[in-house]
Amino acid sequence: MSGAPSSDLDALCEILARCKCLGISTGAGLSAASGIQTYRGADGQWNNIDPMSVASLEAFTANPGKVWAFFHPKRDKCIRAQPNAAHNVLASLSLPSVRKELLPGLSDPEKPPLYVTQNFDGLCRRALDATLEGNTELDNDEKATAHGRLIEMHGSCYRFLCLQCKALKTLTHTPLATVLADEATTKRAIADELTIPVEQLPRCGGEEWAGSNRHGRCGGPLRPAITWFGEVPEGQGELVRVLTKVDVLLVIGTTSLVHPAASYAATVKKNGGVVVVFNLGQTKSDEVADFAFYGPCEETVPRLFERLRELNKK
């Protein structure tokens, strides 16, 4: 296809009915309706602050308290947020019955689609958890496979790395340290008006740590296991390899300015695949898109699923 992207939903449904290998790439726009602030755009959080000063290894090394003071309230927002309708329909593709109904042409019907997100808000994972929880269609191995297909390329606000024993920990509670629950303190730390002592920051083993040096409870400093500015997202080589097999890529809620996610669409196009964009407005990747659907993702994405369901019933 060439020229402007099509907005013909039924034509896309026809293509999806024959799709052999689906890929999904999501960004901040997916979580907008859940109340998570986007990074760029009119109300983006980086419009007021230099990301290198609060979300980089250099900043963390120089002043870990400032980085935690910036990160922790954002994590609290993510914890309070709920997955929206778009997260939920995407998560439903982890179920074989849904894939069979909506994507009957998949060459490997046993395998959920590759699902990559740039978001570290954990909402894709939580929607997946909710879909899989109590589901009797899948055994535990199959549920683990479904989780393995979701790649949080920038990490997750629920995962932390101990810089001392290198344990990777999943922590869902808040606050992770008492001092970080105080809004006045975190605001002053971000403004460089005070420095939070390292001893008061989240540590391996938690605040009740009492001198143990066991792996995973060693008392060492924790860092958020998210990709900071200047760091390389994990698993990109493997991702590009899988992407060469994808014949339909759904790009959802991303401005496509963040590399390497921006190159996914180009990879799929180069291999003859179809690229579909769902976003609030036009994005840079629309240049290579075959289809584009503009509007809130929590409306446009479920609409696609509904239409697929209707057409496949006929």
**Window contacting Zn ion (CB under 5 A); options: 119-127, 129-137, 215-223, 261-269:** 215-223
CB of 168 to Zn ion, least distance (A): 10
124 is in an annotated binding site: no
Q: Does 206 bind Zn ion (CB under 5 A)?
A: no
Residue type, position 89, single letter = V
Maximum distance among all Cα pairs of the chain, rounded to whole angstroms: 66
Nearer to Zn ion among residue 163 and residue 266 (C-beta): 163
Residue 19 marked ligand-binding: no
Please report how close the Cβ of residue 196 comes to Zn ion at its closest, in angstroms: 20
CA–CA dist 104, 312 (Å, integer)? 9
CB of 158 to Zn ion, least distance (A): 17
Out of 41, 220, 296, 302, name the contact with Zn ion by CB under 5 A.
Answer: 220
Binding residue for Zn ion (CB under 5 A) from 102, 218, 248, 268? 218
CA dihedral 224, 229, 234, 237 (to 10 degrees): 180
Q: 165 labelled as ligand-binding?
A: yes
SS (H, E, C) the chain: CCCCCECCHHHHHHHHHCCCCEEEEECHHHHHHHCCCCCCCCCCHHHCCCHHHCCEHHHHHHCHHHHHHHHHHHHHHHHHCCCCHHHHHHHHCCCHHHHHHHCCCCCCCCCCCEEEECCCCCHHHHHHHHHHCCCCCCCHHHHHHHHHCEEECCEEEEEEEECCCCCEEECCCCCCCHHHHCHHHHHHHHCCCCCCCHHHCCECCCCCCCCCCCCCCCCCEEEEEECCECCCCCCHHHHHHHHCCCCEEEEECCCCCCCCCHHHHHHHHHCCCEEEEEECCCCHHHHHCCEEEECCHHHHHHHHHHHHHHHHHC
Cβ 79 to Zn ion shortest distance, Å: 23
Residue 30 near residue 126 (C-beta atoms within 8 A): no
Smallest gap from Cβ 205 to Zn ion, in A, equals 7
Region from 81-89, 167-175, 194-202, 228-236 binding Zn ion, contact rule CB under 5 A: 167-175
Q: Determine if 201 is a binding residue for Zn ion (CB under 5 A).
A: no
Count, residues near Zn ion per rule CB under 5 A: 7
189 binds Zn ion (CB under 5 A): no
204 near Zn ion, rule: CB under 5 A: yes
How far is the C-alpha of 26 from the C-alpha of 285, rounded, in Å?
13
Of residues 12, 67, 116, 162, which one binds Zn ion by CB under 5 A?
162
Identity of the residue, 127 or 218, whose beta carbon is nearer to Zn ion in the bound complex? 218
Among 130, 165, 171, 257, binds Zn ion (CB under 5 A): 165
Candidates 164, 174, 200, 227: give the one binding Zn ion (CB under 5 A).
164
Binding of residue 176 to Zn ion (CB under 5 A): no
Of 154, 173, 215, 259, which one is the catalytic site residue? 154
Q: Is 259 a catalytic residue?
A: no
Q: Is 204 annotated as a binding residue?
A: yes
What residues make contact with Zn ion under the rule CB under 5 A? Answer: 162, 164-165, 167, 204, 218, 220
Residues classed as catalytic: 154
- Which residue ranges are tagged as binding site for Zn(2+)? 162, 165, 204, 218
